[in-house]
């Protein structure tokens, strides 16, 4: 889950690399570094620093490094602790080749032993350093040819950028499993893990597919398969502006992204097209089984989607963690469909599980936020959310947009199968169109929610409860709190509370109850009474006008009324805000919580 950037062109490379690393810091922030081929003596200058990009910037403040080609890297540690020695870029023993790498080299111990036997010395504990030494050991006199040979020896998932003093007019990029894109400029070109890294300089991109190697020069880009065949690829144009990835006056990206949800929900409703999904719906309508696989927050969206698809389309749905489904003995027939949800479209477990299912004969669908991502190109069909870049590690706006896409997909399926009437379809759709303004209403309660956060920020444990379609929202609320505040939190179906978690409840335990006025209201009301009988502190998310719940709750956050199926899109908003305020009051870095990265491209 590291971030890579490479530059070749007319500018001084250092500012370009540092700017790109700032844009990629959500991908990793244990350490960072740059490697630049100095323009006068053509030596590789490598500078690295433990910590965040600002630490590297301060380290470089008085250093004058001039060069027009270079690589940058921001690290999320997998092999070896965050140290300067383990930070990227890594350089070959002679100092002639420097590389950056995102991913995991599975056979690095075997390769390392071979290189040690040949006399190579290793300075780091990483799996990456073997790549630099391999390039030096195999070097054929041509960096591209050498890349073909190195790629044959590597096992695992990786995106690699390479520069060399032997050929200081080119960058080589190698992709297998981890994301790598090419940015196309005028008299300059880029490689990067993600579009925001170079969006300041270009809006035209090529996405590399697995098993492709790019030769990037100042005025040209050539792409090859690993066996040397040239590939012609069409660039795609990005329409959104770099300002979308700015904080726009908010203190944190997460805060900004929470407050963007009225727009992103509206954009996703507008962007969902029945005509574009026609073939997809035709594929799914005859499915005898639909699997939805995902990780983290996307998994919670999948759980909500299961309720909607089974309700409106009457298709049996199984939801599974992608990391588990990937290694399960899958039962796949000719009418099996697998839907994978991934904000980035690059999540390793989801991606490889979908590819395995596709090989076994399943029809595949991806729900992603990033146009041109690996999943969007590799699955049979694709659904998009329309959120723009989400920089905060903890997903917020992409979660509600995923919900909207899944709901609209379920309704289209129901219409196609005849399991929902056009009248009901129109009614639900009209209610959905009112959701953005209702989210605005909840966001206006920011001060009230911050006050509640202040009263409960010292709690060491939280319990989140919900029923039926709001049970996944309890899971999501608990995940958000522990992700960014580091407070232990657990989400549970409220009806299961008495089968274990009730033993934990006392006067020190805040219990957050997702309790809108839907058809399960009486059931969760009874669960809240059980909590109060054991002196638990109750924080309820309830529907406006519900005075009854106020009598048995210590705190109530009211949300606007809507129809039962749409409540999850509203009930999650106060939980995002509560987690955000608790974490910021505790002084945590909500945009870059410890040990987490935005896009998990390794197992």
Q: Show which residues are catalytic.
A: 2, 598
What is the distance between the alpha carbons of residues 562 and 560, in angstroms, rounded to a whole number? 7
Query: Is there a contact between 106 and 90 (Cβ–Cβ < 8 Å)?
Result: no
Query: Is there a contact between 1 and 27 (Cβ–Cβ < 8 Å)?
Result: yes
The total of other beta-carbon atoms located within 10 Å of residue 375's CB is: 24
Q: Which helix (H) or strand (E) holds 377?
A: helix 374-378
Which residue from 400, 388, 396 is spatially nearest to 243, judged by alpha carbons? 388
- β-pairing, 156-164 vs 171-176, is antiparallel
Residue 26 burial by Cβ neighbours in a 10 Å radius (0-12, 13-18, 19+): buried
What is the distance between the alpha carbons of residues 460 and 112, in angstroms, rounded to a whole number? 45
Q: How far does CA 160 lie from the centroid of its chain?
A: 20
Q: Which helix (H) or strand (E) holds 571?
A: helix 567-585
Token match 């003995």: residue? 329
- DSSP conformational letter for 242: G
For 153-190, b where at least 16 C-beta lie within 10 A, e where not — what string? bbebbbbbbbbbbbbbebbbbbbbbbbbbbbbbeebbb
Q: Starting from the edge strand earliest in sequence, which strands make up the sheet with 69-75, in order?
A: 44-50, 31-37, 69-75, 3-8, 189-192, 181-184, 204-207, 236-237
- Helices 261-271 and 397-417 pack at an angle, to 10 degrees, of 30
Which residue from 514, 590, 577, 567 is spatially nearest to 304, judged by alpha carbons? 567
Strand partners, 159: 102, 175
């Amino acid at each position: 889950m590291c971030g890579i950037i490479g530059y070749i062109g007319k500018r001084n490379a250092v500012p370009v690399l540092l700017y790109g690393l700032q844009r990629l810091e959500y991908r990793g922030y244990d350490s960072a570094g740059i490697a630049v081929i100095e323009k006068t003596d053509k030596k590789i200058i490598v500078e690295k620093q433990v910590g965040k990009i600002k630490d590297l910037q301060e380290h470089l403040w008085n250093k004058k490094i001039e060069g027009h080609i270079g690589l940058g890297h921001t690290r999320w540690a997998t092999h070896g602790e965050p140290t300067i020695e383990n930070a990227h870029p890594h350089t070959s023993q002679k100092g002639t080749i420097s590389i950056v790498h995102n991913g995991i080299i599975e056979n690095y111990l075997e390769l390392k032993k071979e290189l040690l036997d040949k006399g190579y010395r290793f300075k780091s504990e990483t799996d990456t350093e073997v790549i630099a030494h391999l390039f030096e050991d195999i070097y054929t006199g041509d960096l591209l040819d050498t890349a073909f040979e190195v790629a044959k020896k590597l096992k695992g998932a990786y995106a690699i950028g390479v520069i060399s003093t032997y050929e200081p007019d080119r960058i080589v990029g190698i992709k297998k499993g981890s994301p790598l894109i090419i940015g196309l400029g005028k008299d300059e070109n880029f490689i990067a893990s993600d579009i925001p890294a170079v969006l300041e300089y270009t809006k035209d991109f090529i996405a590399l597919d697995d098993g492709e190697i790019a030769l990037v020069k100042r005025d040209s880009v050539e792409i090859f398969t690993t066996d040397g065949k040239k590939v012609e690829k069409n660039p795609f144009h990005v329409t959104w502006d770099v300002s979308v990835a700015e904080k726009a006056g908010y203190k944190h990206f997460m805060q900004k992204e929470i407050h963007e949800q009225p727009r992103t929900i509206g954009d996703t409703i507008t962007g969902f097209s029945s005509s574009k999904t026609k073939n997809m719906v035709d594929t799914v309508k005859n499915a005898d089984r639909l699997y939805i696989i995902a990780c983290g927050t996307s998994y919670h969206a999948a759980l909500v989607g299961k309720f909607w698809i089974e309700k409106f389309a009457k298709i049996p749905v199984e939801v599974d963690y992608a990391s588990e489904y990937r290694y399960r003995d899958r039962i796949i027939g000719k009418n099996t469909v697998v839907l994978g949800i991934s904000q980035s479209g690059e999540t390793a477990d989801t991606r490889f599980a979908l590819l395995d299912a596709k090989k076994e004969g399943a029809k595949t669908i991806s729900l992603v936020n990033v146009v041109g991502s690996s999943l969007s190109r590799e699955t049979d069909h694709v659904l998009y959310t329309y959120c723009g870049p989400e920089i905060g590690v903890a997903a917020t706006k992409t979660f509600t947009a995923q919900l909207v896409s899944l709901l609209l997909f379920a309704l289209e399926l129901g219409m196609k199968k005849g399991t929902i009437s056009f009248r009901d379809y129109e009614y639900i759709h009209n209610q959905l169109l009112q959701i953005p303004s209702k989210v605005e209403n909840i966001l206006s309660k920011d001060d009230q929610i911050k006050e509640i956060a202040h009263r409960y920020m010292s709690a060491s444990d939280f319990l989140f409860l919900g029923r039926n379609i709001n049970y996944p929202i309890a899971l999501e609320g608990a995940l958000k709190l522990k992700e960014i505040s580091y407070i232990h939190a657990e989400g549970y179906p409220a009806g299961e509370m008495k089968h274990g978690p009730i033993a934990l409840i006392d006067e020190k335990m805040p219990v957050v109850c997702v309790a809108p006025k839907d058809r399960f209201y009486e059931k969760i009301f009874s669960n809240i009474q059980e909590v109060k009988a054991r002196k638990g502190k109750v924080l309820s998310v309830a529907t406006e006008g519900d005075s009854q719940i106020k009598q048995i709750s210590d705190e109530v956050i009211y949300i606007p009324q809507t129809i039962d199926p749409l409540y999850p899109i509203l009930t999650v908003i106060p939980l995002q805000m509560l987690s955000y305020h608790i974490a910021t009051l505790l002084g945590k870095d909500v945009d870059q919580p410890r040990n987490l990265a935005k896009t998990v491209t390794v197992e």
